[in-house]
Copies of this chain bind each other. A is one copy, B any other.
Amino acid sequence: MHTLEKSSKAPLPGLAAKKKQRTRILLAEAAAALFYERGYDATTIDDIAAAVEISPRTFYRYFPTKEDLVVAMGQTSLESFFAALEARPPAEPLTIAVQAAVDEALAPGWEDTDGVRSFMALIRDTSAFRARWVEEAFDNRYLLAAVIAGRTDGDPLGLRNLLIAGAITMAINTAVQSWADQDIEPRPAVYVQRALAELSMPLLAP
């Protein structure tokens, strides 16, 4: 029920028609550029479509709504994070695995601190984007819970696994957002690791 799927049924000739994937990326990039330049509200679907030279109607065959562009903008980060996490040895403690996955998959993309700040600023003051963004994060809890369930007991819908997944998701989001809001810390990765470290201790004193 998610974002990146090549096609639902037939393997789809594969070769030629992955121009689709390219167009999708072009759209997301063009949209991002326009949003940064003149803001979300001041950018119309027509503008975005024109930038990629497709009809406005076709835009909606790539993205269900304008807001969904924001998930495309964070798409690759998310995918590589999951890939990195699943590549970690199953015996490894979850804390370490998660922290390592952040370092491997997310931190490199955060080298461009100005880029991260711009993105977080865009999300911060574009209500529609922020809503869609956190909704996506909330939904991803289920994906993450499934991965976690794969390394411990087997219930991806168990309350504890959902809580762990939720806490990790929330911690990463909070740390990055907090870092972007205050201009203090060196780089987001440090802040995120600190947040994850907190999860190894009880959040509420017993």
Contacts and interface: CB of A to CB of B under 8 A. Distances in A.
Which among A98, A159, A191 has the highest number of chain B CB atoms within 10 Å?
A: A159
A159 B206 contact: no
A203 B194 contact: no
Chain copies in complex:
2
Contact of A163 (B127, B137, B163, B203): B203
Given A95-B205, A167-B170, 13 more contacts: A93-B204, A93-B206, A94-B205, A95-B204, A131-B135, A134-B134, A141-B174, A163-B199, A164-B203, A164-B204, A199-B203, A200-B204, A201-B206
A7 interface: no
B200 A205 contact: yes
Interface in A107-133: 127, 130-132
B163 A94 contact: no
Interface of A: 67, 93-95, 98, 127, 130-132, 134-135, 137-138, 141, 157, 159-160, 162-164, 166-168, 170-171, 173-175, 178, 181-182, 191, 194-196, 198-206
A157 B178 contact: yes
A157 B185 CA distance: 14
Contact of A191 (B127, B138, B159): B159
